[in-house]
Amino acid sequence: MEEALKAPLSKFSTMKIGGEADRLCQPQNVDELVSLVNQLQEEGEPWSIVGGGSNLLISSRGVKGTVIRTAFLKDINSTNSETLEAAAGARLPHLAKYAAQMGLSGLEFAVGIPGTVGGAVIMNAGAHGSCIANILESALVFDSQAGDIKTIPASELGFVYRNCNLDPSRHVVVSAKFKLSPGSSEEISAKTQANEDYRWRTQPIGWPNLGSTFKNPLPDKSAGYLLDKSGAKDLKIGNAAVSSLHANFVINLGGATSEEVTALLEKMKESVFNTFEIEMTPEWKTMGDFSDEELAAWIKPASQNHIS
Catalytic positions: 162, 212, 283
> What are the start-end ranges of the H helices in 80-212?
92-101, 117-123, 185-202
> 10 Å Cβ neighbour count for 231?
14
- HEC per residue, the chain: CEEEEEEECHHHCCCCCCCEEEEEEECCCHHHHHHHHHHHHHHCCCEEEECCCCCEEECCCCEEEEEEECCCCCCEEEEECCEEEEECCCEHHHHHHHHHHCCEECCHHHHHCCCEHHHHHHHCCEECCEEHHHCEEEEEEEECCCCEEEEEEHHHCCCECCECCCCCCCEEEEEEEEECEECCHHHHHHHHHHHHHHHHHHCCCCCCECCCCECCCECCECHHHHHHHCCHHHCEECCEEECCCCCCCEEECCCCCHHHHHHHHHHHHHHHHHHHCCCCCECCEEECCCCHHHHHHHHCCHHHHCCC
Partners of residue 142 on adjacent β-strands: 149, 172
- 301: nearest Cα among 275, 262, 266, 276: 266
